[in-house]
A = this chain, B = another copy of it.
């Protein structure tokens, strides 16, 4: 196994983007539980996100969701972010909360609705120009609840056409990041349901169109790390949306449901160069802290990613290769498990301290009094949420 000290160079480069909406209220169709101290606007969301970065050094950027994070002056929001030690990141489009989108957005049969959705996305690119964001993340709710409801093939053509219009608008340094998802909110067919579909659309668009892999968006039994490997091989893995799940798109804390899966994913990321200096893979959280505290939930999440990345970096690839060549299945598996079972937490705490960060970011957050302060201050106004 490699030594922990051999991993710190890679770890020092790690950045995990936080979603602004993780700090607002969220829930299920049955109930959104409210919490105290929830931000009322994008500025307060960024202030919360900045706490995560301040204590972990892992989360220097914040993704925005439009129109949830629409502000009059994005320069001011960007400045506010910088003042808080972070920056604005990926711009996420939202074409699922207008009554017009009941039967889809970019794939809608009605040209009027489609144009409206495209216009929304183009508006997001305008915001990217203002914020300096590189990535436009497109996740679509488009799909069908009932067989026959619409023509699946026509929808693909409309999707291709719409994405083409959007891609054409991007600047040379900007990327279109297309996210796939098996189901929800559509319950029969989804228009971008799997990595294959996302990939063929990206291929048709051009080099700056890449795939977003959300770890909760697959069919049961899907080998996610295989997809990571394949997309890295094909040069089209653009971004991760990290979370975890036991059942559907549960959006639990990354690594909470199946830590070994996260380890296998990070191992393929490392193997495929996704942690290299030249890598353009973005790591983002996309979770719902329905019943747990938001800021600590985000701290826990970025630490989980860091810890698992450290374990993945410990893997002795030479030993792996040797065991593979020898056909020694147990030895090869043992090389991997050795890294997984290694407790990296103390090493990480020490390394964190050596960099001027708290050894225990969660304890430091509790000690900071931030939660109590914002709970007291943020009275009145409307708590942020999904507005569903």
Q: Which A residues contact B (CB, under 8 angstroms)?
A: 26-34, 96-97, 99, 101-103, 109-110, 141, 145-153, 156, 182-185, 187-190, 193-197, 199-200, 218-223, 225-227, 229-230, 232-234, 245-248, 250, 252-253, 256-261, 264, 268, 271-272, 290-293, 296-297, 300, 307, 320-321, 323-325, 327, 329-330, 332-337, 340-343, 345, 362, 386, 388
28 A–B contacts from the bound complex (CB under 8 Å)? A27-B29, A27-B185, A28-B388, A30-B388, A31-B141, A33-B99, A109-B324, A145-B292, A146-B252, A146-B329, A146-B332, A147-B260, A148-B334, A149-B332, A151-B271, A152-B225, A153-B232, A184-B248, A189-B223, A189-B225, A200-B230, A219-B219, A219-B222, A256-B333, A258-B258, A259-B259, A293-B329, A343-B343
CA gap between A188 and B225 in the complex, in Å: 11
Whole-angstrom distance between the Cβ of A310 and the nearest chain B Cβ: 12
Q: Is the CB of B103 within 8 A of A256?
A: no
Q: Is the CB of B149 within 8 A of A333?
A: yes
Q: Is the CB of B187 within 8 A of A151?
A: no
Most chain B CB atoms below 10 A, which of A33, A199, A247, A258: A247
Selected contact of A141 from candidates B30, B182, B189, B229, CB within 8 Å: B30
Most chain B CB atoms below 10 A, which of A152, A195, A257: A152
With A27-B388, A145-B329, A388-B32 given, is the CB distance from A247 to B182 under 8 Å?
yes
Chain B residue at minimal CB-CB distance from A101:
B31
Most chain B CB atoms below 10 A, which of A233, A259, A333, A335: A333
